[in-house]
Chains A and B, each alone.
Chain A
Amino acid sequence: MIALEKRPQPSRGWTLASPVVAVLLTMIAGAALFAALGQDPVQALVKIFYEPLFGEFNFFYLPQLLIKGAPLVAIALGLAIGFRAGIWNIGAEGQYIIGALCGAGVALALYPSEARWLVFPAMLLAGAFGGFAWAMIPGLLRVRFGTNEILVSLMLVYVAEQLLASMALGLMRNPEGQGFPGSRNMARMDAATSWIDQSNGMHWGVVIALIGVIFAYILFARHILGFQIKLAGQAPRAAAFSGVSPARLVLFCLGTSGALAGLAGLTEVAGPSGIVSIDFNVGYGFTAIIVAFLGRLHPVGILLAGTLMALTYIGGDVAQSSLGLPGAAIQVFQGMLLFFLLAVDVMTNYRIRWRERGAV
């Protein structure tokens, strides 16, 4: 009989090893999945993991890695702050959309101004504020009325999607667009673009994600606020005894993650996407939940996990186009990653013992 036994201390080795083991198990199970779909499993894995990095066309895929990785890392960092405190913001997708809409609103309202020193900073502020304000809705409701922030933040994603559609078709539609839905292309406005170097995939979202990693690292490692966040997540009563105010912590965590998601949305809409369109959001806000956990809620881990997740996105596209793998199979593959991570995670706090049944 297999028995799980709690370790006196969380295992340091397993804390570091479990993401690696989870990735390996995902590859094995994924290979089985691809084989069951009638594909050569080794070739599929090569297409997903090797081709984008070292293949013939990597000059095309490597910039994609930055473009897809940046929003994942930025959003996941914000989520990790809340998750560590036991505050579950599931609605980053909505905050991402609202951030993009607010930032884009500023850019479009000031068009055709060419004062980049004014337009772009104003867009950043508006984007961060938009995400922040959208996250404050579940935050204030929880603090004031004790509502569940998981449900409220998730529901607000669908509200945000409706707002996005309405904006893309109405208020923000390009007046010179011959009636097509979607806004003017901000990536082409010198005053509003978030591109730094389009050919290499560098845009302000990448910069924000990297600065975010550094700030989050310092917050968690050295600052009293990071300590209180961890304390509140692990032992809420001890946190209250220590002097942490739960309401302020909820607002801080939701506000920060909302602002980061908003910034990610803004830099996306003013760069890689360029326009406010109906299908602007592609699920970064949800995938970032996986990234946050895959990265062990640790800033450096999130940086690595975000890169890995971006790789599976890009590699998935490669496999889809060159092997004809169904898109759903790629999503299953990504889902398996979280599944295996959570499963392997048990080993951090528990060890397995073989026990004989019925010993007397």
Chain B
Amino acid sequence: MTQAGHDRALMVLDGLTKAYPGVVANKDVSFQMRRGEVHALLGENGAGKSTLVKTIYGLVKPDSGTMTLEGAAFAPGDPHAARQAGIAMVFQHFSLFEALDVAENVALGMENPPPLRDLAQRIRDVSEAYGLPLDPARTVGDLSAGERQRVEIIRCLLQDPKVLIMDEPTSVLTPQEVEILFETLRKLRDEGTAILYISHKLEEIRTLCDHATILRLGEVVATCDPRATSARDMAEMMVGGSLHVPQRDVAIPGEMLMQIKGLSVKSPAEFGTSLKSIEIDVRAGDLLGIGGVAGNGQDELLAALSGEITAPRGQIFFSGQDIGALKPDARRSLGICAAPEERMGHAAAPDMSLIENAALTGRKRKGLTTKGFIDWRKARSFAEEIIERFDVRTPGAGNAARSLSGGNLQKFVIGREILQDPQVLIVNQPTWGVDASAAAAIRQALLDLAAKGAAVIVISQDLDELMEISTTFAALNEGRLTKPRPAQGLTVDEIGLMLGGAHDMEVADV
């Protein structure tokens, strides 16, 4: 069944449509990939990228439309069939067993694994050939996020894939690790593998990809050559409008608000990261950006500052007062607000209405209770104020939090804290999973808050974001925080070293 028109294309998607109740995830999506091409799939959250790759990987059946691989009709019923046909995928979240070693993990993911000794040799060969250093005998639990990703990649490479799908591969990597990954991908490309590369980091796509397909609301809205298109243009194609760039005025350092002196607390989670002698000073008007790869103590740091974990005496001070032992409500009363990373279930209760969720943290500072009785009318007007001021798209404040999209709920959560007029605000991943225009609005709101004289601590894995808004920058690595440095003038190399945990290194150029 060879079709003459497609013989140069390795894979052709034609008119793929997939509807879920109430939303069309993919609408008549068509594009093709050639051998040796790095093809970017761009789009905001909810644009339909993941449905599309799940279709290719056999996890989703399209309602209509066809796929062709090497000229033959391709309709995988499950991921097993897709792998047999030569499709491999590296997921954003790894599926590895921490207690097993690298070779065992690779064997578990293979259709017909060879004996472990042969496999170890093959892993060594492949990792050398593609410049991905990895020892097959090491236990996965001891590997860094970048090394774990290599395990997944090598597992894919051992199958000799024709098409390799990578879903947001750099979100867990340091800049140095990103370079190694890109070298590998370029080698694969030169050997004729087609790579479908999903990301929202536009600069990466510009350096790596040959071709980009841009999705918006499930439809292909544009294709372009990323090397010849500016990041801003691509972002505007994604959003379908012009992008607001946050602005900030340089402020003079204000009075000291929060001081953290040698904060060391044990993580309450079994595989969590304990905090080790954290030192932070923030003054009014400061915006401290804390970078770091996920799992290096971000959640614990937020919990220790919000009061979910209490700290020993003499480690956390607010305006000179020792607040280590205070619980979240008491800290909020003083003016310390926080927004954790996980929106559903941590920052907000999914099955509760937005009114109830507004009362969740707002009751003290917004005076929503008198003698323990909640004034639901006040809570409703607070919720409505958040919805209006932060442009939360919802039919009404009475709707359950889980009915909101991730980005809208994030706007609600951040808005809820900002409108309480905090003196110190700590946020973890403020724009994670949020579309570009909402992300810009959230960043602007954080900058405005700092400009009004509050201190803001932003924990994020998005370095571009941190560089855009922070006045000072520090990095978390295995529960330790590097010495904060002025954000202006930091180079990518310096940031990479900080992320990698170069704590004691005083950089000479200061």
Contacts and interface: CB of A to CB of B under 8 A. Distances in A.
Contact of B351 (A234, A358, A359): A234
Interface in A55-106: none
Contacts of A9: 399-400, 402-403
B372 A241 contact: no
B384 to A, nearest CB: 18
Interface of B: 21-22, 61-63, 75, 306-308, 327-330, 332, 338, 340, 342, 345-352, 356, 359-361, 363, 369, 372-374, 376, 399-400, 402-403
A237 B374 contact: no
B360 A242 contact: yes
A10 B346 contact: no
Interface string A115-144: 000000000000000000000000000000
A224 B363 contact: yes
B327 A238 contact: no
Contacts, number: 81
Interface in A314-360: 353, 358-360
Contacts of A20: none
Nearest to A5: B21
A136 B147 CA distance: 50
A245 B310 CA distance: 12
Most buried by A among B342, B372, B376: B372
B372 A225 contact: yes
A234 B349 CA distance: 7
Contacts of A222: 373-374, 376
A224 B359 CA distance: 9
Contact of A224 (B332, B345, B374): B374
Contacts of A360: 61-62, 75
Nearest to A353: B21
Closest 3 CB pairs of A and B: A243-B329, A235-B349, A243-B328
Chain A, interface size category, equals 20 to 34
15 contacts: A8-B400, A8-B402, A9-B399, A222-B373, A222-B374, A227-B356, A231-B349, A235-B352, A237-B342, A238-B349, A241-B328, A241-B360, A245-B327, A359-B61, A360-B75
A155 interface: no
B351 A238 contact: no
A238 B373 contact: no
Given A234-B349, A237-B345, A241-B360, 14 more contacts: A223-B374, A224-B372, A227-B356, A227-B374, A231-B349, A235-B349, A235-B352, A237-B346, A238-B347, A238-B360, A242-B360, A243-B328, A243-B330, A359-B63
Contacts of B22: 8
A105 B455 CA distance: 62
A234 B352 contact: yes
Interface of A: 5, 8-10, 222-225, 227, 230-231, 234-235, 237-243, 245, 353, 358-360
A263 B488 CA distance: 68
A360 B374 CA distance: 52
A243 B373 CA distance: 16
Contact of A223 (B61, B340, B361, B372): B372
B345 A235 contact: yes
A353 B20 CA distance: 12
Contact of A231 (B61, B75, B306, B360): B360
A248 to B, nearest CB: 11
Nearest to B21: A5
Contacts of A223: 372-374
B327 A10 contact: no
Nearest to B332: A243
A8 B350 CA distance: 10
A239 B349 CA distance: 8
Contacts of B61: 358-360
A224 B363 CA distance: 9
Contact of B350 (A224, A235, A239, A241): A235
B372 A243 contact: no
Contacts of A234: 349-352
